[in-house]
Amino acid sequence: MQYENSLTNIPYDSKIQKLAILFVFDKMSIPMTEATLLDICTSENNWLGYMECKQYLDELIDSNLLYRLPKSELVNITQDGVSCLSMFFTRMPSSLRESITVYVNANRLRYKKKQSYFCDYLKNSDGTFTVIMRINTDLSTIMEIKLVVASRQHAEYIYKCWVEKASHIYSLVHDSLLE
């Protein structure tokens, strides 16, 4: 199946779609999870179909143009991927390049925060909830907090606030412990 450019209805072949994936990684300049890439390329922008994006991601990893970071769910572009992109960059329609560039410039920080500041919660057998909050770098977790709260409402509130408050909380904990 060929995905069509929604602006012009011109079909993008698989090579252009793979270049688009490489271009997204290059422009983002951060490793991303597969879920993040799928979100950016399919749900948020409709640059590729979901199944094609998954397939091409795997093919780009198999061909060593992308790689999975060890002990991580993150994927990033290799030097070979950067070289390939630079050689074939002009084969991508300028409208697609521009669309990716504009989107990435507007959303890079949001995705970086989303991946760096992880939060989830689960219900405990006694009816309380455990909220798990993490701050990750590209290669490791630098802080993890598990907090037991009385209700789902409290867990959801913490979940919603974590991304905005994580760096402040890290600074407070770090500074308090090193005083």
Per-residue pLDDT of 1-13, as tens digits, reads 434 444 434 457 8
Q: What is the pLDDT of residue 99?
A: 95
Rounded Cα–Cα distance for residues 33 and 23 (Å): 15
Whole-model pTM: value is 0.71
Taking residues 136-141, report their average pLDDT.
76
* Residues 66, 60 contacting (CB under 8 angstroms): yes
Task: State how far the Cα of 52 lies from the Cα of 54, in Å rounded to an integer.
Answer: 5
Please name each of the domains of the chain with its CATH number: 3-114 (1.10.10.10), 116-177 (no CATH)
Q: What distance in Å separates the CA atoms of residue 66 and residue 71, rounded to the nearest whole number?
A: 16
pLDDT in tens, 35-44: 899 999 999 9
> Residue 150 in contact with residue 126, Cβ under 8 Å?
no
Mean pLDDT of 50-58: 94
Q: Is the pLDDT score of 115 beyond 80?
A: no
What was the pLDDT predicted at 66?
97
Is 175 buried (19+), middle (13-18) or exposed (0-12) by CB count in 10 A? exposed
Residue 144 has pLDDT above 60, yes or no: yes
Instruction: Determine if residue 149 is left, alpha or beta; phi over 0 gives left, psi from -120 to 50 gives alpha, anything else beta.
Output: beta
